[in-house]
A and B are shown apart, each in its own frame.
Chain A
Amino acid sequence: DGGITQSPKYLFRKEGQNVTLSCEQNLNHDAMYWYRQDPGQGLRLIYYSQIVNDFQKGDIAEGYSVSREKKESFPLTVTSAQKNPTAFYLCASSTPRGSRPNEQFFGPGTRLTVL
């Protein structure tokens, strides 16, 4: 079955450490997105990529980095520069084609806790 996977589901990190969250999709979607979700704040866009080897900053990119070396993969690195990284992170992908163009398909999320 096609879908998006994120790993790990739970992640604990010490202050000052970088950590990488994995996102993989087998939907053949060109576009991929990373969101951060905090209680009462909805989804905020961190980075997005419309094509391999290209990505753009979203609304809250500071302290994060991404890469898009393969169509299927869009890993997110939370660096030590991110001041408040504890949050729920969601990855999504979309395509402009099909019966529901630009519908975003979401992964199950990764909960990151900084100790």
Chain B
Amino acid sequence: SQELEQSPQSLIVQEGKNLTINCTSSKTLYGLYWYKQKYGEGLIFLMMLQKGGEEKSHEKITAKLDEKKQQSSLHITASQPSHAGIYLCGAADRGSTLGRLYFGRGTQLTVWP
């Protein structure tokens, strides 16, 4: 099975600062998904990466999948209080049942004004 390690476990930053969250896999990644969750709510899809070296951006959030496809990073530029929440990475395993994702434990982000 796929194992995903997220770091850091929690992050507290001042508004306006940049930050990076990492997601490292025990195996080659075939489809890496980033989600955001507010406490007590469902997960909201952010971005999906499939190819080594791929990079995608949405507003101030950029996600990358490294060339060897075993690590992804999520970078937030000029953080705002609206970025606060739990960020989770999820990955498909080539050998797993189609559609099944394995998730990391999440990174709790707090942004203070």
Contacts and interface: CB of A to CB of B under 8 A. Distances in A.
A50 B97 contact: yes
A103 B105 contact: no
Interface residues of A, number: 30
Nearest to B50: A101
Contacts of A75: none
| Chain B interface residue number, banded | 20 to 34
B45 A103 contact: yes
Contacts of A94: 99
A112 B51 CA distance: 39
A100 B42 contact: no
Contact of A42 (B99, B100, B106): B106
Contacts of B44: 106
Contacts of A45: 100
Nearest to A10: B40
B98 A105 contact: no
Given A40-B105, A103-B33, A104-B33, A48 B100 contact: yes
Given A42-B88, A42-B105, A103-B45, A88 B40 contact: yes
Contacts of A103: 33, 45, 48
Contacts of A50: 97-99
A102 B93 CA distance: 12
Interface string B79-101: 00000000010101000011111
In the complex, the 3 A-B pairs of residues with the closest C-beta atoms, listed nearest first: A42-B105, A106-B42, A106-B43
12 contacts: A33-B100, A40-B9, A45-B100, A48-B97, A100-B48, A103-B33, A104-B45, A104-B90, A105-B45, A106-B44, A109-B42, A111-B40
Given A42-B106, A43-B88, 10 more contacts: A43-B103, A56-B97, A88-B40, A90-B43, A100-B45, A101-B31, A102-B98, A102-B99, A106-B44, A109-B40
Interface of A: 4, 6, 31, 33, 35, 40-43, 45, 48, 50, 56, 88, 90, 92, 94-96, 100-109, 111
